[in-house]
Amino acid sequence: MNILRKQVIVGTVRGRVLFYSVSGGELMAEVSAHARAVTCISVAPESAYVLTGSEDGRFIVYKLHTRKPQAYQVRLFVPNAPVYHFWQISNSV
């Protein structure tokens, strides 16, 4: 669930990222983000950004302040290196 507590974010084996409303359960956005399975999702609590990783070696950043998460993507690709985990570093100590 994201820090704003308004959405549940789900990654699929087909590489899609789904954003569901917590209050109503409806699908708010569906992004065809990755070529292979989404293996990890992380939310940056201080900034409302979501980072997804996949078996395809891509990292994608989404900004949750917009109504269309797919409109604000930054893609990074590491060839032949599946992404299975993120380690989030907080600004607060």
Q: How far apart are CA 85 and CA 17, in angstroms?
A: 16
Per CATH, is 7-77 categorized as 2.40.10.480?
yes
Is the model's pLDDT at 10 over the cut of 80?
A: yes
pLDDT score at 60: 86
The residue extents of the domains of the chain are: 7-77
Query: Which pLDDT tens digit goes with each residue over 73-93?
Result: 556 666 677 777 766 545 444
The single-letter DSSP state of residue 67 is S
What is the C-alpha end-to-end distance of the chain, expressed in Å?
A: 23
Query: Does position 41 have pLDDT exceeding 60, yes or no?
Result: yes
Which residue is associated with the tokens 């974010």? 9
29 vs 13 pLDDT, higher one: 13
